[in-house]
Amino acid sequence: MCEPPLGWIAPNAVVGQAAPARDRFALRASAFLRAPRVEVAQGERVLWRGRPARVMPGRSARLPHAWIGQVDADGPAVRVALRA
């Protein structure tokens, strides 16, 4: 699940520890964001933090997939959000 102003992430589901196509996730936003701090978390547990070069409408930013091994299949939804 993405929190605004992030619009979507693809693929939008994690199935086991299988890597997504091209070994990365694609992320888009509804606004132009230069070097945002992005956080992938499940509940209170942070799975990944980083700074994609830019995130914007109409263009996908790349997120690594290494964090999928930490996802608890029985846990809460994985959230992708901006953090200060």
Residue 20 lies in a domain: no
Instruction: List % helix, strand, coil for the chain (3-state, nearest 5).
Output: 10, 45, 45
Residue 19 lies in a domain: no
| Residue 34 dihedral angles phi and psi, to the nearest 5° | -90, 120
Residue 56 lies in a domain: yes
* pTM (predicted TM-score): 0.89
Structural domain that includes position 47: 6-12+26-82
**pLDDT confidence of residue 23:** 85
**pLDDT tens sequence across 9-25:** 999 888 778 888 788 89
% of the chain residues with pLDDT over 70: 99
When pLDDT is cut at 50, 70 and 90, the band that residue 35 belongs to is: confident
Residue 46 lies in a domain: yes
Contacts of 72 (CB under 8 A, 6+ apart): 42
Residue 67 lies in a domain: yes
Task: List C-alpha distances in Å: 83 to 16, 18, 22, 26, 68.
Answer: 26, 27, 26, 18, 20
Residue 17 lies in a domain: no
How many domains is the chain partitioned into structurally?
A: 1
Residue 54 lies in a domain: yes
